[in-house]
Chain A
């Protein structure tokens, strides 16, 4: 079991209702972490309904949903913003 900070941006944050949270996880990679988070309820399920619209950074480096979480302290999940 590892502990991670998970940070949400833009409409991901709006849907989940939190800017960040500390998460205990057994996930090996980001997609497994997202699967665990989806189980937390409909707000999370709505935020993670379509992963193709989201990008992820591990310890402030762009990664993919299949990147391993070993040794990672922070996961940031953000969509492209479109407004100008």
Chain B
């Protein structure tokens, strides 16, 4: 018979799942996850990982809450307009789940800050809004041997991949080389889209931490919410990749 905590406690609905149970919940409680970007994708990622009882959530973002954020960035509130996003996020997450240790860095990802931010984490979740930051995080994760769960959105569509070359599969730069040109992407995004893509990322983060089910390692998930199309593209490591390839001495 399940005990009282299993029936009524904060993690009751996890503890009764065979894929999580007390062993998986303990893994979540021991996990240290860095979430870079507390915006559209960062909102559901942080909310669901905090609610799930991840032991430490480190948040990095140098932006402040603005009115145009609130159509999709459900972590923040009208009462926090003008406040640093990491402060708004830390308060909301502490209220949601005081079990979670929140570490807030009002920092931008740069070549200097990325390796420092990544150090000491079991998983990095990329919720940034530009390709330069994504490549900087990828380099830091490859060098530190930390898996990178990266998601991105545009208009009605999203992409999610788990890049973890130290355990097989490609790094982000194997799939999206740094040398490619970077045409300007429109700013339009339907408000519920980061909810779909960010919740997918939170779920993949939980699966990665507890080791359950099918991993996104070696796969890129493409989500098109306008035309109801989802597909998994198999992606392989590029031996000539300038970031993780053998010729470059990382692995």
Contacts and interface: CB of A to CB of B under 8 A. Distances in A.
Interface residues of A, number: 23
Interface in A18-71: 19-20, 50, 52-53, 55, 57, 60-62
B18 interface: no
Contact of A84 (B153, B220, B231, B234): B153
Interface stretch (B91-99, B116-124, B173-181): B173-181
A60 B152 contact: no
A6 to B, nearest CB: 13
A10 B232 contact: no
A19 B224 CA distance: 9
A48 B100 CA distance: 47
A78 B154 CA distance: 12
A84 B127 CA distance: 5
B148 to A, nearest CB: 14
B231 A60 contact: yes
A84 B236 contact: no
Interface of A: 7, 9-11, 14, 19-20, 50, 52-53, 55, 57, 60-62, 76, 78-84
14 contacts: A10-B157, A10-B185, A20-B227, A52-B181, A60-B232, A62-B220, A76-B233, A80-B131, A81-B157, A81-B159, A83-B152, A84-B37, A84-B39, A84-B153
